[in-house]
Amino acid sequence: MDLRDKRDLLLDELSGMVKMSYREDNMGVVHVEVEGTEFIDEVTFHPVAGLVDRKTGFITPYWPHLSEIKDPRDPSKNYYYPVFDTTNVSAEKDTDIGEIKALLMARGTGWTNFTDFYNENGTRLTAEDYQKGIANSIMMNSEAELDTLLHQLVITINDLFSPLTTVASAYEGATTATYVNDKGETVQVDASKLRILDEKNCPVGSDLKLPPRELFVRNGCERYTLTEVQLDNMAEPVMMYLYNEEDLENDSTLYTMKNISINEDMIKQESYLPHLKFADNTEAVDHQLGTNLSLIWTKQEFNLNPSDTTPCGFSGFYVKWIGEIGNTGNVYRSTAQSLEGTKEEIEFSRQGVIGVSSDEELTTMIKYQSAYNAASRYINVVNEMIEHLVTSLGHV
Highest mean pLDDT among 20-34, 216-230, 308-322, 360-374: 216-230
Task: Identify the pLDDT of residue 356.
Answer: 61
Domain ranges of the chain: 3-94, 127-329, 358-394
Cβ atoms 173, 143 nearer than 8 A: no
E strand residue ranges, 150-220: 164-166, 176-180, 186-190, 195-197, 203-204, 216-218
Nearest to 301 by CA among 165, 200, 159: 159
Q: What is the mean pLDDT of residues 145-166?
A: 94
Between 382 and 101, whose confidence is greater?
101
The Cα angle at residue 110 between residues 109 and 114, in degrees rounded to 5: 115
Q: How far apart are CA 113 and CA 281, in angstroms?
A: 41
Rounded to 5 degrees, what are φ and ψ at 31?
-105, 130
What is the arrangement of strands in the sheet containing 20-24, beginning at the earlier edge strand?
20-24, 30-34, 37-40
The pTM assigned to this predicted structure is 0.76
Output Rg (C-alpha) for the chain, integer angstroms: 37
Per the rule left: phi > 0, alpha: psi between -120 and 50, beta: everything else, 261 is beta
Give the H or E element holding residue 321: helix 314-354
Which amino acid is it at 152?
Q
Q: What is the pLDDT of residues 133-148, one digit of tens each?
A: 888 888 999 999 999 9
Helix (H, G, I), strand (E, B), or coil: what is residue 190? strand
The whole-angstrom separation of Cα 35 and Cα 54 is: 26
Q: What is the mean pLDDT of residues 43-48?
A: 91
Backbone angles phi, psi at 65, to 5 degrees: -75, -15
Residue 320 near residue 312 (C-beta atoms within 8 A): yes
pLDDT digits (tens, 9 = 90+) for 217-247: 999 899 999 999 999 989 899 999 999 999 9
What three-state secondary structure class fits 260? Answer: strand
Looking at residues 141-158, what average pLDDT do you find? 94
Mean pLDDT, the chain, rounded, equals 88
Q: Does pLDDT of 283 surpass 80?
A: no
Closest among 2, 15, 6 to 347, alpha carbons compared:
15
- The whole-number average pLDDT for the span 362-375 is 85
Closest CA relative to residue 50, chosen from 76, 82, 27: 82
Residue 4 half-sphere exposure, CB side, CA atoms within 13 Å?
A: 3
What pLDDT was estimated at residue 333? 86
